[in-house]
Amino acid sequence: MTDASLKSFLDKKLAEFNQPAFINDDPVSVPHLYKQKQDREIAGFFAAIFGWGNRKTIINKSKELMHLMDNAPYDFCIGHRDKDLQKLVSFTHRTFNPTDLLYFISFFHFHYSHQESLETAFTQFDGDMEHKLAGFHHYFFSLTHVPARTKKHIATPERNSSCKRLNMFLRWMVRKDDRGVDLGLWENISPADLICPLDLHVARVARKLGMIHSKTNNWKTANELTDHLRRFDPADPVKYDLALFGLGIIDKY
């Protein structure tokens, strides 16, 4: 398939999947439950970090956690008392356990005590997205008494991870269009700089379409796919994540 025909094919699929109807069955529905920017950031971050496996389970577990946080995640992270944390100790999602959750809450309390938005957790680091994601990883685990087990839940390019879940979160926060799926809350990261989330379905479809050739899903492969997508739209390459994901999980392409 030529680049021109591939772009035409993906543009058609993008128009099909980048619709409000996509939201309800996708984890992006979780931050859409809220109006306040900080609530959307925290809810979106948890939904993205929980983002492996069955989408329905991811959504349900994210909503369960939001309920435990009184459906006001920002107020909970900023204003909780020790006794409020007791109701979190039974929460688990796959390998994510209460130890991890309590550290995440501590980080959000620390960050939002100093900053208005989670965006600065990434933009404080100069350079491209690789540097921003690596910097965010170090910043996230900069508090004292970091549980060793919790580090596995936040990926970093320094370990050659594709950083799929963080890149998905950034897509939600950064991308702006009139279709309503992505929230477009942030102003200081360009959509042009985003890296495509390398979901297993996305990677499979991308290989089938000849856009990536590596057999492993890592940081290099995520960049290879994004570079190919920049041929179609250098200003907003990651919009095609919606087309590739829809092809993989909805169309079973």
Give the residue carrying structure tokens 């938005």: 117
Burial class (CB in 10 A: 0-12, 13-18, 19+), 144: exposed
- CB-based contacts of 24: which residues, under 8 Å, 6+ apart? none
The model's pLDDT over 87-145, given as tens digits with 9 standing for 90+, comes to 999 999 999 999 999 999 999 999 999 999 999 999 999 999 999 999 999 999 999 99
8-state DSSP, 96: B
Give 208's pLDDT tier (boundaries 50, 70, 90): very high
**What is the per-residue pLDDT for 253?**
87
Q: What does pTM read for this prediction?
A: 0.97
**What is the per-residue pLDDT for 85?**
97
Considering the chain, what is the average pLDDT of its residues?
Answer: 97
Alpha helices in the chain (DSSP H): 3-17, 37-49, 55-68, 73-79, 98-112, 120-123, 129-140, 164-174, 200-208, 219-230, 240-245
Q: Containing domain of residue 35, as a range? A: 3-250
Domain count within the chain = 1
**What is the per-residue pLDDT for 179?**
93
